[in-house]
Amino acid sequence: MKEATGELNMTVITVIAIAAVAALFYAFVWPMIQRTIVQQTCNTYGPGYTAEKSTDQSKCQTASDKTSCWVCTCDKAKGCTGTDITIPD
């Protein structure tokens, strides 16, 4: 019985550790990966575009959830000559 309790404790510790690693990945690493992907997409539109997360409803009207979306903003000071572009989900 004592051995079974020890194995259960190790299982619980393992599950908690996996959940903690997954939470850290989702909270910190995944947003950086997402931003890098979107920034690479913005770079294809030309120089001066930067990726930004937007909650502006007029910019996010093409997004599926309509609450936030990625937008490639045009910075005229960096040589951009176009307009802001919403990245579809």
* pLDDT tens digits for range 45-57: 888 899 998 888 7
Per residue of the chain (89 residues), give pLDDT as tens.
Answer: 566 677 888 999 999 999 999 999 999 999 999 999 999 999 998 888 999 988 887 777 765 656 778 899 998 888 888 888 888 76
Count of Cβ atoms closer than 10 Å to residue 56 Cβ: 13
Name residues whose C-beta falls within 8 Å of residue 48's C-beta, 6 or more positions apart in sequence.
74, 75, 76, 77, 78, 79, 80, 81
* Tokens at 43, concatenated: 């770079």
Q: What is the dihedral of CA 30, 43, 53, 56, to 10 degrees?
A: -150
Q: Provide the greatest CA pair distance for the chain.
A: 73
Looking at residue 55, its pLDDT comes to 82
Looking at residue 26, its pLDDT comes to 94
